[in-house]
Structures are given as C-alpha cells and as structure tokens.
Amino acid sequence: MGQKIHPTGYRLGISKDWSSRWFADKSNYADKAFEDLKIRKFLTDKLSQAGLKAVEIERTENEMNIFIKVSKPGLVIGKGGAGVEVLEKELKNLTNSKIKITAEEIKIPEIEAQLVGDYIARQLKRRMPYRRVAVFAANAAIDKGAKGIKIRMSGVLSGSNTISRSEEFILGSIPVQTLRADIDYAQIDCQLLFGTIGIKVWIYKGEVTL
C-alpha cells in the first residue's frame, strides 16, 4: 500500500491536534489563515537558533495566544522576559489582534522530528557525510526513548557530478498505518550549492490511548 498521506493530517482529531485552533466564517477565514502563515514564517526565521519545533495559534474574538515550542526557551524569553516583549511588538505589524506569547520547553529534542531534520540539514551544510549524520541522529533518537525512526534523504547526496537518488535509514518500527501510533513527522528542504536535498523524518514514540 502506498504511503502518500501526511502522517499528521491522517491522525488529526484522533491522536493529533490542529496547530491553529480558531473558528471564522467565510468572509474573513482566508485573511486569518494567511495571517497565521505570515506569523509562522516570521517566527521560523526569527527563532531558527532557538530550536523551534512548532508554533500553535489559538484565537478568540480579538485576542491571539501563540504557543512556541522550542528546545532553548531562554533565547526566546530573554532577560526578564524582554525577548517575548520584543517579539510581541514585532508581531503587531502582522496582525491587529492582541498578542500573548508563551514559550514551552521541549525536554528531549533528539526525539522531535523537526529538530532532528534541522540538525541533519545543518550538518549537511557543513559538508559532513550524509550517512554518518543520519546514522548518528537515528541512534540518538533510539537512545533517548524513541520506539522507531525513519530518515529519508533525496537529492544529489554525494555532491555535484553524481546522480540524484533517495536513501532511507530505519531503526526500530514505524507503524505508519496505525492511527493510535504517535508518529512525529517533519519535512525539511536543505539548500546546498549544488542543489536541494529533501529530508523526511518519521519518529515513532509509542501508542496513545484513544
């Protein structure tokens, strides 16, 4: 059976929650969705050094709560909360809603698919051998408690003057068709001098009780 569906979208409402939680009628739904997109892009660029995993947005009538999940919350909060205040001021240029930002710490970054993918991309940009990087990331995830991990890398993996191909690295089990399986998924584009390398990461953390 083909595995062409997004692992998170497949489980929405069952074992995964939406990253944007609000309701709008058709007259202003598109504006709010585009606003969310701009906020996420801004925060992704701004907090790249803080180990950003996800940005979750909740809205009420004229308020917006933004939950930022990062591995280094100190870089977001800043000294005495100054960093959060600066972020809130900058985000006011993107929305008319009243903004409240909450930074949440990720305890074990080695088992978060987005952070594993970002780590692999950083190492590839430093010209590290892709096999060594992928095997190291997979072993680190298993050592930290993941039940299984799959990393797929596609592109000109061995540098220029080689043929584009895909390679997979799998440790443990990845039950992608099981709805109760807690599978974290991320997809990252790594821009290199000789082309783009696509990185996909699946991490199986165990089963959730539905």
| Range(s) of the chain covered by CATH 3.30.300.20 | 7-105
Separation CA 172–CA 60 (nearest Å): 42
Mean pLDDT of the chain: 90
pLDDT tens digits for 61-94?
A: 888 999 999 988 888 887 777 888 888 888 888 8
Separation CA 92–CA 89 (nearest Å): 5
pLDDT at residue 2 greater than cutoff 60: no
Q: Tokens for 128?
A: 């590290």
In the structure, what pLDDT confidence band is assigned to residue 3 with cuts at 50, 70 and 90? low
For residues 169 and 83, which has the higher predicted lDDT (pLDDT)? 169
Q: What is the mean pLDDT of residues 14-21?
A: 90
pLDDT tens digits for 119-161?
A: 999 999 999 999 999 999 999 999 999 999 999 999 999 887 8
* C-alpha distance from residue 36 to each of 9, 44, 98, 109 (Å): 18, 12, 14, 25
Report the DSSP pairing between strands 148-155 and 195-207. antiparallel
Q: What is the mean pLDDT of residues 44-71?
A: 89
Answer whether 178's CB lies under 8 Å from 210's CB: no
The CATH T-level fold of domain 7-105 is: GMP Synthetase; Chain A, domain 3 (3.30.300)
DSSP per-residue string spanning 13-53? TTTB--SEE----TTTHHHHHHHHHHHHHHHHHHTGGGTEE
The CATH T-level fold of domain 109-207 is: Ribosomal protein S3 C-terminal domain (3.30.1140)
Separation CA 129–CA 196 (nearest Å): 16
| Range(s) of the chain covered by CATH 3.30.1140.32 | 109-207
